[in-house]
Every structure is written in C-alpha cells, then in structure tokens.
Structure 1
Amino acid sequence: MKIRLFLAKLIMFFACSYSTTAASPVETQIFDLQAAINEAIKEKERVLELPEGRLLVEPIEISEASHLTIRGENTELVFTSYTNSLIKVTRSSHVTLEGFTIDCNPLPFTQGVVTSISEDHRTLEYKVLDGYPELDDTIKPGRHGVFVYDPKTLFWRSNVPDLYLESSEVLSPKKGKFRISTPNLPGYQNIEIGDYLAFKHFIGAGIGVHDSERIDLKDLTVYTCPGAGMIYRRGVGAPHITNCTIKPGPPPQGAIVPRLLSTTADGFNIAYTRQGPIMEDCDFSYMGDDAINLHGTIVNVGFKESETVYWTSSKFWPEYSISLQAGDIAQFMQRDSYQILAEVPIKSAKRETPPESVDFSIRKQLGLDDDQKLYCVRIELEDPVEAQAGDHLGFPSVASPDFVFRSNYFHDHRARGLRIGASHGLIENNTFERIKQTGISLGPHAIHHEGNWVQDITVRGNTFKNIGFDDRVFESGSYQGGAIVVQHFLPNKNVEYSQGNRNITIENNTIWNTGAAGILAISADELIIRSNLIGQTQQLNTKGVGSRMRLQCNGAISLNHCTNVVLEDNRFGPFGPFCKNEVVRNP
C-alpha cells in the first residue's frame, strides 16, 4: 500500500492543475482506490484511512468485506467515469463508509437556458450553460426528464411541471431542441425564455449496496452521482445513516451559474430488505427525486396452481424473491381495489421456469409474446387462500420495515421528502421545507408496483413549511395534495375504496403554508390525528384536485374513504384562501 501511495504522489505534479470546480485548486492525485480496498480486505484490516485531498478515482467494488471502516477525513473522491454505481458493496457485512465526499467529473447531468419557445409551448430550443457538459448524440438529452428553474431563485419553477419528452435533438455540442410529449398541462404555458434547465439522467447510484448486512454511512457528503445517492437492496440488519449530507457541489470550471442538482434521482432508495434504516441528523437537498424512497413490491398473481400454490409473474427480474424466507407473510389483494383478501405465511418461494401450460396462461394474461422476458416465482403457502390470476401480492416482511427517521432536514428538492411503502416505523423531529410535492407519503404506490399497505407508523414532532406547490399536485388524477399524505392510488371509479393503511398516528406536528391540504388521508383505518398545529393551507385552488380519484382536498385535514378516525386537540392557524374548513370528510 505504501508503494502505491508513493507512486500516486509522484504523479501529483501532473494532476494538481486538474480541478472539478471553480474553487481554489486543492491537492489532487490519481489514486487506485480499488487496489487499496482489495488489500485492506485481503489483510483483514479494520480501518482503511484514505489520503487527504482530491482523489481522482474509478468506480470500485467492495466485495466480501467484513468489519471494515473506510474513512476519509478531508477526502474528496472524484469519479472520472461511471457506467453503474460509483461504489458497489456486495456480499459484505458490518462495513462503514465514513467522512469522505463523493463527486463526479464529468458531471452526470448538464444545464441549459431556454432560447426559444414554439407557439404551442411544446417545442423548446436551449443553449448549454458555460462550464457544463456538452451535448452527446449517443445519449438523448432529457430522456429521463427535464426540470425547469427560475433563473432568479435557482429553484424549480413551481408553476411548471417536470417535462417528459416526445423527441430530443442535438443541434450542436452547445445547442439542442426538444418537444414535450404531453400537450395538455397548463403549466407548460408558464415556461419563459431565459429559464434554466437541468437534464435528468441516471444509470446507477453513488453507493449501491446488494446482498449485504449492516452497511453504515457516517459523515458522508454527496455532491452528485449518476442516479440515487444510495441504493440498498436485499439487505439484512438496519443500516445506520448518520450525519450525511446531499447537496450540490461547487460549480464546474468556467461556470457562472451554480449547480441546480445534487443527485439526479432519489437521495436514498431502499427496497427488498428485511429491516429499514435508522437515519439521524442528515441534510438532503436539491435531489432530482424523492429524498427517501422506502418500499417493497406489488406483483401480479400470474397463475393459480392450487389454493396453496400460486405463481407470480412479471416482466422484470423479481429481486424481492431473494429476500423471502419461510414464515414471511404473503399479502393477497383484489385486482381492482387492492383490498386485502388474505395474509398467510409462506412455506417456500422459488424462482422457476413454469411448465408450458402455465407459461402460456401467464403470457396470455399479460399480453406477452413468446420471445419476451417473463420472470416467475412459485410460492407455496402454509394455509389455503382463495385468490385468482390477476389479483396482486405484496410481501411486507421484505418491504424495509422497522425504520426510524429522526432529526433530519429535507429541503429544496422535487417530488416527496419521505415516500414510505413500509410498516412499523417512527418519523420524528424532522424538518421539511420547500419540497415540490409532499413532505411525507405513506402507503402503496401501486402505479409503479412499489410499496405495500402500511401499518403501525407514528409521525411525530415534525415541521413542514412551504410544501406542495408543484403544478402536478393540483391535477384531477393527483393523490399527493397534502404536506402529509396517507395514500392510495385507485383510478377505477367502479370499485369501492378499502382501508388497507392501518394504525397510523400523526401527532404534534407543525404544518404551515401548503399549496393544498395540511393532511390528506386516503384509505386509512384506525387513524389518529392529534395535537397538530396546521395553518395557511390551500394557498392555491384545490377544486378538482384528485377528482378523477373521487377525492376531496379542500380541508386543512382532508379525510377520504377512511374509517375509525380519531381527531383530538388539533389547532388551526389562519386558513389559506381556498381552505373550506378545518376538517372535510369524504364520504
């Protein structure tokens, strides 16, 4: 290891002029991080201390490590290439990443300024801002979405929804043109020449953890990465995430406009794990999506072999099945309403190639051709269940349950603060500010086959300010019209709502200045809302919000299709201009 460090310092003279940012140059060296990690694992070292300064590194993998801390006080890891996760952790246990900063050069996103707008406001031309990556014909700019920013505040334009593209054209390395795919959103008319743009693009994560136990993050800073800050999959043992920061890094060399994004997707995305995170004292901002996405999956029942044997079916690899164990609960849900039909223990769950007759039946149901990918899991149950092909299955045991979010600060980013599709959790003493849609959403996200019905969650002592002014919150198909949302997505008007979100307590929170409701609850049973301070809600017109979903969102507390609700000692400040009442019940 000493030889490698010596060689790295020898070439430092050639690298010291390299700088990823416009800030003053710091000591920069090319560093073989992978070799250093491999040696630490081989020698069973307990701590690997990284050199100080800016280290130019390639993506690395930490595999089969145990009881290892990788520490980098005053260390910035600048990844100079990326095709997947920057730091990949596999088949490891009790690994701690501590103290260092993660950045990329080149950046995994670019920024531009609108230079022309067509009469129908669907075709825009733009110029890349100085210092930001030039356009590349091999990657469609904006293929994962485009964000629009106010050039004065450098924040997302709240009256302009995220843009998804019908086409994208590179006119030159510095100029481009795109056409928006959806013509019917009124917010597109609010785009102005001179608005700034950021082009969302993701191919991996900053830190990708798979098939590991107790991987902890402490005192880390993430400036950017090509996707989520952290993806955690198929883990056991609660990851501890302490005093970590996600924020935009300094502007690149030659740039005048600051970075508009930190991560290009979620802050942290955790799924198919047997225990959720314990996250404390973190500060996340300017992400291209949710701060936290905690979930499992909802899959289709593809075939009923018997009342104790069912096949699940999906066009996507069923990674949830790796985490399933005998005794885990299978939650069967009715195909249209998602009403819970039964919750029974699993005897076994195996990925298998189905018999030809089963394969034919599933493909017919899904409309798949013979050459299209089909993934199936054969699930044997301890007890019989009366369900049918086309119904749904969830697995709460591997949906990252038993989580804690305490004393964190989530602010200045799009989408949601906490998107929770897991049960048995505590969310307390956090602050949520200037978030485009929802501060906290609890419940299934069926439209993306994520999450499950949730139960046994306490939301306590949190503060919400300036939440939910995004244009999409106010659509007829929206179910995100609140600072705190207990959610269910049910677009089918011919079925009744069921109450699958259970035993939720929302208490001692302060909610102030929201675009829509303070609290929006949908499909909840045994819901307690008490001792909250709620004011200045419905600052924007909520008439019609969620109407396609048969929802009403015009009360400071809006209750939709809920049963057994307890309201106690809530205090209300001045109403916003479109708030009808303290509490609105529907029905």
Structure 2
Amino acid sequence: NASGYLAEVFFPAGSYRVGSTNAYALPLENLSDICLKGEGTNTVLLVSNPENGCLGFAYSTNVAVQGLVVDYDPLPFTQGTITAVDTAGGTFDLLIDPGYPELSEPSFSAANAKWGLKVDLAREAYDVWAYFSSSWVNIGVREWRMAADTPSYLQAHPLSVGDRYVHMARRWTAFDIGFDFCMGVELRDVTVYASAGLTTGLIYSGDIVIHGLHVGRKPGSTRLLSSNGDGIHSAGCSDGLLIEDCSFEGMPDDGINIHGRGGPIISNVTDTVKWVGMQRPAFYAAGDEIQILNNAAGGIRGNAILLDAVRLNDYVWEITLDHPMPDVYADPAWVNGDKLSNLSRCGQGSIIRNNFFGSHRGRDILLRSHDVTVTNNHFFNPSLASHAVSLQQEYGYYAEGPPAYNVDICGNLFEGGTNRWSWSSPRVSTRSYLPGGIQSPTYDSWNVEIKGNTFMNIDGPAVTVTSASDVRIINNTVDTEFGIKVASSPVVLLEHAYDIQIDGLDIHDLNPATYAAVHIKDTVSPLLGSVVVTDLTTDLAAGSTDIQDDR
C-alpha cells in the first residue's frame, strides 16, 4: 500500500463519529506495522464523547497516523462572556455563547481539571492566569455563576465584565492521539481542532517522527480554543523525537513539552538500593542512567547506572545503583526527599525544526531533557505572556526532569508585538527553582548554545540565563521598534550564572525601557572570565548602557 506499512486502515473522505465508554474512542493495543490513513483535511474523526481521547495506541511497534483531522461534537470546553464579578464573594457569572455546551453536561463535573482562562482573539492574546472553578449554578438562560476554588486568587487577578472566557472539561488520561510504550511512531499531516486533554501524548515510547501536525482553532468557527492541553507532550521517551513542519495555536498550555519522569527518594534501603516514589506512573530498567538532585541546597548529587529496577507496587520502585550514594536524602513523607530523574528516558536527542508557534497560553517549548536541537522555528506571540523556549527545572516538581543540558537553540525567529497582556517573559530562558520558588544557587543547566537567532519587537529580554553555566550567546540580532517596549528590562539578563560567552550580539532598540544591552547581576560569579562579552553592537536610547555589571 501507499503508506509503506504491512497493513493499512484507510478512511475515505468523510466524517466518522467515534466514541466509547473507555478512555479512548478507538483503543488500539498490541499492533505491529500498521497505518491509519485518511484523505487529509477531507477525513474527519469526530469524537462524540467529550470524555474520550480519540486514538489510543499501546504496546505497539511501527504504527502511524496519516492524513486526517480530529474534532469533537460536543466540544470538551465551553465559552462565553463574563457578565458579573463578585471578588469579595469569590464568584463570577458566565453567559455561554449559543451553540456551546452548558455546564450541566456531565463532562464538566467529571473533568480531572476544572479551570478556564481569558482570551482576546482580537489581540491574539491568551491570559496567563488560570481560574480554577469546581462548582457552578445555573442562574438564567445559558448563564452560570461560577465559584472560584480560591477566592483570594480571583481578588488578586480579577476578571472584568465583558471578558471573553473559556472553561474546559479537561481530562488527564484522554489524549487526542496517545502512544503508551510504543516503538516506531509516525504522525504525518494530522490536524487537530479540539482535544479533551493533551493533543498528542507520547509516554515511554521511542523512535518518534511527527511531521505536519497542525493544532489550531477550527477555521470558520467562533471557537476561542483548540486543544485542551499541550500540543505535543513527551514523557519518559527513550530517544529523541523529530518534530518538524508543525504548527501550534490556540492551546491553553504548552506547545511542546519534552521531559523525563522520576520521583522523590523515599527510602535509603542501603547505600546502593533506594526506593523511589511515583507522583505519576514511572518506568525504570537495568542499564538506565539516573541523576539525583539535592533538593535542599540545589545541585546534582551524582549520576548512576541502574543494575536492577523492580516495581514494588503502584507507587514505589526499588532501584539498585552501580555505585554507593550514601548522602542521598530520603523522605518517607514524599515531601523533601532528593529528586531522581531518568536521563535515559527523557526524550534526549530530540530535534525540533521548521515549526510555527502562534498565540496560545503557556510556553512554546518546555525542555527538561538533554542533547536537544531547536532550529529554524518561527515563534510568533504578540501577547508575550510566556516563554518561547524554556529550560526550566523545578526541584519540588518530582514528576518532570532532569535539568536541561547540551541544548542548541539556533537560527530561529522570535517575533513579538504590541499586544502585551499580563507581563513580558523572555524569549529564551534557563531557570531553576528550589522548593518554595527559591532560585537555585547552583548551575543546573549547562552547555547551552543560543546562536544565530533573530528577535523582533519583543517587550522583554531576548535571553535570560539563571542557574546555568557554559552558555554561549553567539551572533544574535535584536531589533525592537520604538514604542513597542513597555516592560523595563535588558536584552540579556544574567543571574546565578558562570562561564557565559556573549559574542556578536547586534541590538537596535531605542525604547527607554531597555535600560541595558547586558545586565550582569551580583549573583553572577565574580571570577575573571566568568562573563566574556565581545563584538557587541548597540543602538540604544539615550541613558541606556551597553553593560550593567552589579558585581
């Protein structure tokens, strides 16, 4: 057959209603060498149960989905206009648009995550604030009074009458297209207009090619949202993903999230045998390389190879290390134990190229992995509310890791605009936080090259480097028109950093809010050569400085 697989399930042009009482409308397990193929945008899989994912592959090899559209009827979200806000009482009223689901539909009360957000399509802006609301009452025709789960949050970030608002029936286990423990995965020329949860979920899979995946609002519709979750979410995959020629718009979360899974050390059985808890389902095998972080003070305690890995129950693994690690801190309460990440199962070696990221809430790319290349992508987000490429480590968030290292970010276009809504985040950033949101004092990311990128009309830093070392910012261009920038910031911000090289940075930015080309904070290492800036070309406003060094 034309797809090149031994078996092909062909969907001629048409609309196919699919649904079930399971997690997936079409669960597909223990398959080999098979392709599900449609006729491009003329073939639509229409999920009829908003609590379903669409296609769920598991324990399969050499499987593909090609040339089709996924949509929902009824939708797994609703939308409307805010008609009243009572911040003191912790409620707000939502008038649902005609044709969109009422909150009395069972999918909303059954949702795993009940929250919503403001959307302003005219400004291509998705607000960063997430309003969690688990209860509501009907107060009129298509009108509902929603109670904020945390009234103080609504007081701190009040909604306004007239705001356009989306509320989701978001599921944790229902991906539009899911792959669990699959090897040899191909997604090609697939379009997604809605999803109950993650758009594509790749869990402990490998040998993955995603080409021409397009996530966006349905053309010709009045929808404010596309998918209910990340565009591509890779957790625990054993080797790199190739993601190319895709587009991501309209989601309430990240475009691409690649990470490993791990957990807290809950018992030091011996110097070489440890018990690891699972906040989310995790998998280990003999031969895996793991990394253990010092959750109290920051930094890496060390790496080890697993000699053995045994799952004791639904929540705990017992692992055997190839050498003693006596200083690991264990917490049986699962609160403060050192964090373990699996370096062999974190999507390492991924290539992300030639993709387009449009307006949505969340980061365009979130990396907790290593040996990743991000190249020739176009990041366009006029509201600038979240990071474009984020290398972010959170010690207290055991479910995702490790800190990113060996990352190349090269030849990309980062484009902003005048529609800033909440705040302006850096386009490229390394960040690391200890429990409690304290910035890590250690260099958790390293060997990062940011080279040959163009930053246009950005209201905020082009690059922020914190808790990182061996970062090279080479031959980048920043061009921001006068009047674009509101937020006071430098072009490059360095904090808790060491061994930073900046060369060939060319800046044209006459906005007074750009107070410096490079700001070196006093937490940066004072050692000679810790920051080297060469061939810096600037065209800045009067009063701005090339280098502000606080050390």
TM-score grouping bracket, smaller chain normalisation: 0.7 to 0.9
Name which of 191, 201, 217 aligns with 2:187: 217
Alpha-carbon separation, structure 2, partners of 1:51 and 1:145: 37
Counterpart of 1:228 in 2: which secondary structure? coil
**Letter matched to residue 342 of structure 2:** F
Inter-CA distance 325–154: structure 2 relative to 1 (3 Å threshold): same
Determine if the alignment matches structure 1 residue 488 to structure 2 residue 432. Answer: yes
Give the C-alpha shift of residue 214 in structure 1: 1.3
**Letter matched to residue 267 of structure 2:** F
The question of whether the paired residues in 2 share the 8 Å contact of 1:433 and 1:464 is answered with yes
Name which of 231, 235, 241 aligns with 1:277: 241
> After superposition, where does 1:174-185 map in structure 2 within 5 Å?
174-180=142-148, 181=150, 183=152
Inter-CA distance 157–235: structure 2 relative to 1 (3 Å threshold): closer
Alpha-carbon separation, structure 1, partners of 2:354 and 2:225: 23
Comparing 96-105 and 484-493, the one that deviates more:
484-493
Deviations 1:323-377 (A, max 9, x none): x232221211112233101111111111115xxxxxxxxxxxxxxxxxxxx7111
Inter-CA distance 259–137: structure 2 relative to 1 (3 Å threshold): closer
Alpha-carbon separation, structure 2, partners of 1:470 and 1:262: 21
Alpha-carbon separation, structure 1, partners of 2:368 and 2:418: 20
**Letter matched to residue 168 of structure 2:** K
Give the C-alpha shift of residue 167 in structure 1: 4.7
The residue number in structure 1 matching 2:380 is 433
> After superposition, where does 1:515-526 map in structure 2 within 5 Å?
515-526=459-470
Determine if the alignment matches structure 1 residue 378 to structure 2 residue 340. Answer: no
Deviations 1:533-585 (A, max 9, x none): 1243993435xxxxxxxxxxx32101111111111001112154432211111
Deviations 1:504-532 (A, max 9, x none): 10011112233321111111111101111
The residue number in structure 2 matching 1:71 is 37
Give the C-alpha shift of residue 282 in structure 1: 0.7
Inter-CA distance 563–467: structure 2 relative to 1 (3 Å threshold): farther
* TM-score, structure 1 as length reference: 0.79
Alpha-carbon separation, structure 2, partners of 1:471 and 1:492: 26
Comparing 418-427 and 292-301, the one that deviates more:
292-301
Counterpart of 2:380 in 1: which secondary structure? strand
Determine if the alignment matches structure 1 residue 332 to structure 2 residue 292. Answer: yes
Counterpart of 1:444 in 2: which secondary structure? strand
Counterpart of 1:579 in 2: which secondary structure? coil
Determine if the alignment matches structure 1 residue 208 to structure 2 residue 178. Answer: yes
**Letter matched to residue 381 of structure 1:** L
Inter-CA distance 85–337: structure 2 relative to 1 (3 Å threshold): farther
Give the C-alpha shift of residue 412 in structure 1: 0.9
Alpha-carbon separation, structure 2, partners of 1:141 and 1:405: 35
Name which of 95, 101, 106 aligns with 2:69: 101
The residue number in structure 2 matching 1:112 is 80
Deviations 1:475-524 (A, max 9, x none): xxxxxx31111111236598961112011100111122333211111111
> After superposition, where does 1:519-558 map in structure 2 within 5 Å?
519-536=463-480, 539-542=485-488, 554-558=489-493
**Letter matched to residue 292 of structure 1:** I
Alpha-carbon separation, structure 1, partners of 2:105 and 2:30: 39
The question of whether the paired residues in 2 share the 8 Å contact of 1:337 and 1:495 is answered with no
The question of whether the paired residues in 2 share the 8 Å contact of 1:469 and 1:515 is answered with no
Alpha-carbon separation, structure 2, partners of 1:157 and 1:76: 27
Counterpart of 1:523 in 2: which secondary structure? strand
The question of whether the paired residues in 1 share the 8 Å contact of 2:404 and 2:445 is answered with yes
Counterpart of 1:555 in 2: which secondary structure? coil
Inter-CA distance 146–494: structure 2 relative to 1 (3 Å threshold): closer
Counterpart of 2:175 in 1: which secondary structure? strand
Alpha-carbon separation, structure 2, partners of 1:275 and 1:213: 10
The residue number in structure 2 matching 1:443 is 392
**Letter matched to residue 465 of structure 2:** A
**Letter matched to residue 520 of structure 1:** T
Comparing 440-449 and 335-344, the one that deviates more:
440-449
Counterpart of 2:206 in 1: which secondary structure? coil
Determine if the alignment matches structure 1 residue 145 to structure 2 residue 115. Answer: yes
Inter-CA distance 467–326: structure 2 relative to 1 (3 Å threshold): farther
The residue number in structure 1 matching 2:514 is 579
Give the C-alpha shift of residue 251 in structure 1: 6.0
The residue number in structure 1 matching 2:304 is 344
**Letter matched to residue 391 of structure 2:** L
Name which of 213, 228, 236 aligns with 2:198: 228
Inter-CA distance 430–496: structure 2 relative to 1 (3 Å threshold): closer
The question of whether the paired residues in 1 share the 8 Å contact of 2:293 and 2:339 is answered with yes
> After superposition, where does 1:93-492 map in structure 2 within 5 Å?
93-118=61-86, 120=88, 122-136=90-104, 138=106, 139-140=108-109, 144-150=114-120, 153=122, 155-156=124-125, 158=127, 161-165=129-133, 167-171=135-139, 174-180=142-148, 181=150, 183=152, 188-189=157-158, 191-203=159-171, 204-237=174-207, 239-250=208-219, 258-314=222-278, 316-317=279-280, 319-321=281-283, 324-353=284-313, 375-386=315-326, 387-389=328-330, 390-434=337-381, 436-449=385-398, 450-466=400-416, 473=423, 481-490=425-434
Counterpart of 2:157 in 1: which secondary structure? helix
Determine if the alignment matches structure 1 residue 568 to structure 2 residue 503. Answer: yes
Give the C-alpha shift of residue 219 in structure 1: 0.6
Inter-CA distance 184–219: structure 2 relative to 1 (3 Å threshold): closer
Counterpart of 1:260 in 2: which secondary structure? coil
Counterpart of 2:198 in 1: which secondary structure? strand
Alpha-carbon separation, structure 1, partners of 2:110 and 2:511: 40
Alpha-carbon separation, structure 1, partners of 2:52 and 2:379: 30
Counterpart of 2:441 in 1: which secondary structure? coil
Give the C-alpha shift of residue 99 in structure 1: 0.3
Alpha-carbon separation, structure 2, partners of 1:247 and 1:495: 35
**Letter matched to residue 46 of structure 2:** V
**Letter matched to residue 405 of structure 2:** Q
Counterpart of 1:436 in 2: which secondary structure? coil
The question of whether the paired residues in 2 share the 8 Å contact of 1:466 and 1:514 is answered with yes
The question of whether the paired residues in 1 share the 8 Å contact of 2:82 and 2:164 is answered with yes
Deviations 1:444-487 (A, max 9, x none): 2444331211111100011111289776657xxxxxx3111111
The residue number in structure 1 matching 2:529 is none
Alpha-carbon separation, structure 2, partners of 1:155 and 1:511: 19
The question of whether the paired residues in 2 share the 8 Å contact of 1:468 and 1:483 is answered with no
Alpha-carbon separation, structure 2, partners of 1:430 and 1:63: 34
Deviations 1:368-409 (A, max 9, x none): xxxxxx711111011111312122211111111110000000
RMSD: 2.6
The residue number in structure 2 matching 1:92 is 60
The question of whether the paired residues in 1 share the 8 Å contact of 2:295 and 2:396 is answered with no
Q: List gaps (5 residues or longer) in structure 2.
A: 20-24, 331-336, 524-551
Counterpart of 1:153 in 2: which secondary structure? helix
The residue number in structure 2 matching 1:50 is 11
> Among the aligned pairs, what percent are the same residue?
23
Give the C-alpha shift of residue 83 in structure 1: 3.2
Deviations 1:172-209 (A, max 9, x none): 561111233253678734x3322211112212110111
**Letter matched to residue 464 of structure 1:** F
Alpha-carbon separation, structure 2, partners of 1:274 and 1:468: 41
Alpha-carbon separation, structure 1, partners of 2:439 and 2:87: 41
The question of whether the paired residues in 2 share the 8 Å contact of 1:525 and 1:564 is answered with yes
The question of whether the paired residues in 1 share the 8 Å contact of 2:126 and 2:360 is answered with no
**Letter matched to residue 244 of structure 1:** L
Counterpart of 1:265 in 2: which secondary structure? coil
The residue number in structure 2 matching 1:33 is none
